[in-house]
């Protein structure tokens, strides 16, 4: 399952201390594994003097259901797709589906999402937004 780990980090950039909240996304079975997978590299960066201090703020199961790693780009985007169908009793049902992908611009991300929507049996695109996630792809 994909787990989001939010961490408050104080990084040393250009000899200045910059504080920010970073969101990491990782595919692990347990929260403790996800936390360790994020904390271990931060500890290493701390020992190297890149990170001054950090604190894990939260862990949660991510609403993102898929990572489209076939696309390359500088920025991360989350696209919300909607699959609609009619139930046996005639009731219209839908399922929202969030996908993380990379692109160099919003226009390029939109093209990728359109391709994903077509592959998913003509899903509707509800929205695309740029996010500041760090995806830790561990096998």
Q: What are the tens digits of pLDDT across the range 124-137?
A: 889 999 999 888 87
pLDDT reported for residue 7: 96
Residue 100: CB atoms within 10 A of its CB come to: 21
Report phi then psi at 132, rounded to 5. Answer: -115, 65
Angstrom distance (rounded) from CA 113 to CA 111: 5
Average pLDDT, the chain: 90
Domains of the chain, residue spans: 2-61, 64-131
pLDDT 10s digits, 28-62: 999 999 999 999 999 998 888 888 899 999 999 99
Helix, strand, or coil here: 122?
A: coil
Mean pLDDT value across residues 65-83 = 90
| pLDDT over threshold 80, residue 138 | no
Instruction: Indicate if the pLDDT at residue 22 is higher than 70.
Output: yes
- pTM, rounded to two decimals: 0.81
**pLDDT for the residue numbered 121:** 61
Give the distance between the most distant pair of CA atoms in the chain.
65
Exposure of 126 in the CB half-sphere (CA atoms within 13 A):
12
């Amino acid at each position: 399952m994909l787990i989001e780990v939010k961490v408050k980090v104080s990084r040393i950039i250009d000899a200045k201390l910059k504080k920010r909240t970073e969101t990491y996304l990782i595919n692990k079975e347990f929260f403790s594994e996800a936390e360790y997978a994020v904390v271990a590299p931060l500890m290493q960066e701390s020992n190297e003097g890149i990170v001054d201090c950090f604190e894990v703020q939260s862990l949660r199961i991510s609403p993102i259901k898929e990572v489209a790693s076939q696309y390359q780009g500088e920025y991360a985007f989350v696209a919300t797709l909607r699959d609609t169908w009619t139930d046996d009793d005639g009731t219209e049902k839908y399922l929202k589906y969030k996908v993380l992908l990379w692109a160099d611009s919003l226009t390029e991300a939109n093209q990728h999402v359109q391709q994903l929507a077509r592959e998913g049996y003509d899903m509707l695109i509800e929205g695309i937004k740029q996010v500041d996630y760090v995806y830790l792809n561990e096998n």
